[in-house]
Amino acid sequence: MTPRIINCVGQLPYKIQLGSNNDKYKVSLIEGNGPLYSSLHYLSNPENGYEQHIVGWTGELKRNSSIDLSVKDLKLQKKNKDNTADANANANSNQPISDEDPLYLTKEQLQNLNGAIQSKYSKDVSPSNAQIHPVWLLRRNQSSWRNYAENIIWPTFHYILNQSNDGENETNWWYDYVKFNEAYAQKIGEIYTPGDIIWIHDYYLLLLPQLLKMNLQNDDSAPPIITYFHHAPWPSNEYFRCLPRRKQILDGMVGADRITFQNESFARHFVSSCKRLLDSTSKMSINKRDKQQYHVSVYGGDVMVDSLPIGVDKEKLLNDAFTKDIDDKVISIKQAYQDKKIIIGRDRFDSVRGVVQKLRAFETFLAMYPEWRNKVVLIQVSTPTTNKDSPQTIKLEQQVNELVNSINSRYGTLNFSPVQHYYMRIPNDVYYSLMRVADLCLITTVRDGINTTAFEYVTIKSKTSAFNCANNPLILSEFSGSSIVLKDSILINPWDSVAVAKETHKALIMTNEEKSMLQGKLYPQVPTIQNWTEIYLETLNQMMNKSNQNKKMSPALNRPILFENYNSAKRRLFCFDYDGTLTPIVKDPAAAIPTARLYSIIEKLSRDPKNQIWIISGRDQKFLNKWWGSKFKQLGLSAEHGCFIRDVNSDDWINLTEQTDMSWQKKVIFTMEEFVDKTPGSFIEKKKCAIVWHYRRSVPELGEFNAESLKNNLLQFADDYNLEVMEGKANIEVRPRIFNKGEIVKKLIWHKHSGEQDFANNEINKSLPKDSMPDFVLCLGDDATDEDMFRQMNSIEEEWSTMYPKDKNKFNNFGFYPVTVGSSSKQTVAKAHLTDPQQVIETLGLLVGDVSIFQSPGTVDLDTRGHVKNSPSSKKSEEAAVAYAERNGN
């Protein structure tokens, strides 16, 4: 069977323009878009062995009245395309949809547009078996979908710190960012089949990996294979940690099985962010390509982190750049700048691409080398970004204009300006002709993931043509991701204008032999997109074969659905483990105390008369009394893994072990003492019943080794006393087998909700009416002992399915949520996971209204406008659509 790849990109490679009537539209290719789309094209070819599904947002829809013109008129416009002034005029007529012009597209219109995009792709990319799945987000102010990615994430990834502010924008943008990712998860959910590879690209979709893990996993099938490629730089943790939602972002990403960066240093920074913010551990090894790769253990699960720089489609580039039409353009540029050397620059117009640095260096060059005055022209093409109208870009534009004017007035003449600055998007043919004609390409970026202009330039310079332009050199910033790949380019520090000026001079006086020697080294260093795609997928396949595909993964807890279920329930029971669930694990057991936030949330939760809350812990009564019992009488408590219990609103503890022989304790302590002696840092915690040997403060390897042998020693006599020997978190614990947390949960569920417990009575009353027992049970725990609780819940659920088949709620369940705290790959009988105590607190905060639902990614059904289905805003939008259609007589 042909393997399937679902490729997820932040935006489809098309721009969609609507005429004044929504039935008239034009779908056209976005020009000058890079290697990612080339990779999609490569995978679209059925000969390359994959069936590809491309999922992407449509981008902002534009109105263009010229679409209402006849086909003949459109042809006329096309003729004028080479003329940059006309190209500009065309761009200006593409007005973004304004707020007064809402996009109410009917289902039929959407279907037609889907068909138009599909057929355009199949025509543009031939042969192709790819299917395009547009993500429609037609809400007003469509560019709001970009805000978080472009205004918060992008600057941080490029070492630009955002100004501190009241956070209101950030919160609103985050909401849209979550929805944007959810819209993708929803679309993928519609097309996913088990075994598909899901390949996610770049920082618009950082939450998608975890959302997919949450949505696509079901009990019977193999887990989805999710891989993420990060095209942008990844900053040092000192910058990354400035992001307010840094943890949510990392949590989202580590849902992927593999995360790949453009180079090793970005990968290293990412691993370090995970270590510091997620408390992960990692092992580094060297892969077959002689590059570092990391196995990162986050929340007990594994993510592979590596690097592979993207490439370009060399073959296509050489075909496209060497046509008769472009030959003519090369000649006309050469004629326009006779007797002059041509330096070319093409950059996105944002603060990190170093246009200012380039102009300063060029000014210095003209000052230092007067012999070049009037003999060199710098043609700088700056491509506008979607942030064109932001204050930062406007400021940059002013700065660049001032520099250009100053250089031209100082070193220009009446009929020659040494700097030609074009702030516009140029068509590919113009770009290729500039690259071909260039004597030198100057790249002074101060930060980028990879610079494909560098790759394209070197590729174009590899071909000899009639115009003597081959082999001309490249000056490349050492801050560009490409500098690690193009090791033999002329590397410069863009902040050092003098050095750049000197290198420019040297490059311009290079002999043909020197140039061809340099080019001979550089050209093979340019990666091809074909190789990149193949190596990426090959490594992924090897990795997936190695890791156990049948390993069951638990999905992340779907918090929005939990919230809905909670709200509709009347008799809610909460069973919380303590250590590692309500508080993070720390070195000293005495220091694991509740935070004020936890207290406040538990207090709010317990205020609701529908709720009954139990803390079912391995801790002893003293500890639980001190931190919980003395403060909240309304909580039920169970100590030492079910050995002791204190009912809700009671002061008395019941000792369930009263009749149990405790003579084993001496023997256990004696055995453990021997291990305390040989494991420095370890100690024994003696509770009333259970005995624990802790080794968290010992040398980890020694602790683990001795824990294994202690366990074996204890197991030798465990059966004689009916003891359970449990492996906890850096501990080995012993207690009588007959008591466990599961028994407590069983009693609590088979019980009249809120009624007094009769713990002395071991019997369960199975004749209780269903509507007196809990209709919502959230049970959270992190350890092996908590699995007993989950197991009980699963078995009661099964029993209830037979006993009360008609009494399931609208979610087709009994409201049971057995949830482990740890990674998705942790082996558990729980039905879902939350990664750590912080997520636990956020989830409980959501239930009591402390955390907004919109902050929690989950499976929320969205309409085509990006509103949550059936929400007030969705309904309002539907009504407006009907009114709009009526107004327009549709």
Ligand X SMILES: O=P(O)(O)OC[C@H]1O[C@H](O[C@H]2O[C@H](CO)[C@@H](O)[C@H](O)[C@H]2O)[C@H](O)[C@@H](O)[C@@H]1O
Q: Which of 13, 418, 580, 703 binds Mg ion (CB under 5 A)?
A: 580
Q: Which residue is nearest to ligand X (CB)?
A: 618
The nearer residue to Mg ion, 150 or 782, going by C-beta atoms, is: 782
Contacting range for Mg ion; rule: CB under 5 A; set: 372-380, 570-578, 715-723, 767-775: 570-578
Contacting range for ligand X; rule: CB under 6 A; set: 178-186, 390-398, 402-410, 575-583: 575-583
Q: Which residue has the tokens 């941080």?
A: 156
- Element of type H or E holding 440: strand 440-443
Give the chain's radius of gyration (CA, Å): 32
The nearer residue to Mg ion, 22 or 823, going by C-beta atoms, is: 823
Torsion of CA 502, 513, 318, 83, to 10 degrees: 50
CA dihedral sign of residues 588, 594, 596, 601:
positive
Residue 280 binding result from Mg ion, ligand X, none, given CB thresholds of 5 to 8 Å by partner type? none
The nearer residue to Mg ion, 438 or 645, going by C-beta atoms, is: 645
What is the DSSP code (8-state) at residue 531?
H
**Interacting residues with ligand X between 641 and 660 (CB under 6 A):** none
Q: Which of 150, 363, 577, 775 binds Mg ion (CB under 5 A)?
A: 577
Q: Which of 202, 251, 783, 863 binds ligand X (CB under 6 A)?
A: 783
Q: Which of 178, 176, 58 is nearest to 114 (CA)?
A: 58
Q: Which of 161, 191, 586, 883 binds ligand X (CB under 6 A)?
A: 586
Please count the residues of this chain forming the interface with ligand X, following the rule CB under 6 A.
Answer: 23
Residue 299 binding result from ligand X, Mg ion, none, given CB thresholds of 5 to 8 Å by partner type? none
The nearer residue to ligand X, 140 or 696, going by C-beta atoms, is: 696
Phi and psi torsions of 125, nearest 5°: -115, 100
CA 35 to chain centroid: 20
CB of 641 to ligand X, least distance (A): 6
Q: Concatenate the DSSP letters of all residues of 41-55 into one string.
A: HHHHSGGGS-EEEEE
CB 537 within 8 A of CB 197: yes
Residue 735 contacts ligand X per CB under 6 A: no
Helix axes 559-568, 837-848, angle to 10 degrees: 40
CB of 272 to ligand X, least distance (A): 24
Give the burial class of 222: count Cβ atoms within 10 A of its Cβ; 0-12 exposed, 13-18 middle, 19 or more buried: middle
Residue 227 contacts ligand X per CB under 6 A: no
CB of 279 to ligand X, least distance (A): 12
Phi and psi torsions of 850, nearest 5°: -85, -20
CB of 589 to ligand X, least distance (A): 3
The nearer residue to ligand X, 25 or 628, going by C-beta atoms, is: 628
The Cα 643–Cα 726 span in angstroms is: 15
Q: Which residue has the tokens 């004609």?
A: 437
CB 492 within 8 A of CB 450: no
The nearer residue to ligand X, 352 or 582, going by C-beta atoms, is: 582
Residue 592 contacts ligand X per CB under 6 A: yes
Residue 182 contacts Mg ion per CB under 5 A: no
Residue 724 contacts ligand X per CB under 6 A: no
CB of 779 to Mg ion, least distance (A): 12
The nearer residue to ligand X, 413 or 595, going by C-beta atoms, is: 595
Other beta carbons within 10 angstroms of residue 404's beta carbon come to 22
Contacting range for ligand X; rule: CB under 6 A; set: 65-73, 305-313, 583-591, 807-815: 583-591
Residue 579 contacts ligand X per CB under 6 A: yes
Bond from prior residue into 127 cis (ω within 30 degrees of 0) = yes
Instruction: Show Cβ contacts of residue 742 under 8 Å, excluding neighbours closer than 6 positions.
Output: 642, 788, 789, 791, 792
Residue 685 contacts ligand X per CB under 6 A: yes
Give the burial class of 453: count Cβ atoms within 10 A of its Cβ; 0-12 exposed, 13-18 middle, 19 or more buried: buried
Residue 585 contacts ligand X per CB under 6 A: yes
Residue 207 contacts ligand X per CB under 6 A: no
Q: Which of 306, 350, 783, 863 binds Mg ion (CB under 5 A)?
A: 783
At 447, the amino acid letter reads R
Beta bridge partners of 644: 639, 655
Give the burial class of 71: count Cβ atoms within 10 A of its Cβ; 0-12 exposed, 13-18 middle, 19 or more buried: exposed
Residue 617 binding result from Mg ion, ligand X, none, given CB thresholds of 5 to 8 Å by partner type? ligand X
CB of 790 to Mg ion, least distance (A): 13
At 703, the amino acid letter reads G
At 848, the amino acid letter reads V
Contacting range for ligand X; rule: CB under 6 A; set: 155-163, 493-501, 572-580, 787-795: 572-580
By the criterion CB under 5 A, which residues form the site for Mg ion? 577, 579-580, 782-783
By the criterion CB under 6 A, which residues form the site for ligand X? 577-580, 585-587, 589, 592, 617-619, 685, 692, 694, 696, 728-731, 733, 783, 785
